[in-house]
Amino acid sequence: MINAFLVFNGQGQPRLTKFYTQLDTSIQQRLISEIFTLVSNRPPGFCNFLPLPPLLAPPPSSNSSVQEQQDVPSLVTYRNYATLYFIVISTATESPLALIDLIQVYVEALDRLFENVCELDLIFNFETLHATLGEMVVGGVVIETNTERIVAGVKAQGTVAKRPVNEGRGAAGGGLGAGLGAGLGMGGNFVWHGR
């Protein structure tokens, strides 16, 4: 199953943290910073799997049974889109390559919802970010991988604010958003076309 789904930017500021088990905030922060150190040191050509961060690394002397190992997070998958890193921490029951695809699906869905998504969209519409993830993963189990259905599911929950952001925060958000406008560079940097 999936243990955590994280999104943070190139400076290590979290944009979305979803832990499917509850952790103390301080440990969450430590984990994020550990993963960020691992991720930020990786050049683009490297594979999308990280060694386990120290916090998650199993105690060296543990000779636990295979069964217990199945329960322990053992895989950290990441993808980098423009300024953002998407990280999935999962157990051995998930397929590593499928997780890469899952992140891809997530980003595609966001792109569909926001139309050329960029980091600012995610900052000002974190609810949509969560809702989209909620349509794909519930309680650590993947429930939907079809972009159409995900988008439909999110839209059913209410309108998705688009740039320029509506209502009150329209002025500030809109200006910045239009200025950035770079998007996450969808399509350009797909390393992986397996699905």
Span interacting with another protein, options 91-99, 110-118, 173-181, 182-190, rule CB under 8 A: 91-99
* Helical (H) or strand (E) element with 39: helix 25-40
Q: Does 34 bind another protein (CB under 8 A)?
A: no
Tokens of 85: 């890193």
Strand order in the sheet with 84-90: 14-19, 2-9, 84-90, 75-81, 49-50
Q: Does 189 bind another protein (CB under 8 A)?
A: no
Span interacting with another protein, options 52-60, 108-116, 169-177, 182-190, rule CB under 8 A: 52-60
**Interface pick for another protein out of 126, 166, 175, 189 (rule CB under 8 A):** 126
Residue 188: CB minimum distance to another protein, A: 17
Span interacting with another protein, options 80-88, 108-116, 136-144, 171-179, rule CB under 8 A: 136-144
Q: Quick one: residue 8, left, alpha or beta (phi over 0 = left, psi -120 to 50 = alpha)?
A: beta
Tell which positions 151-180 bind another protein, by CB under 8 A: 153, 156-158
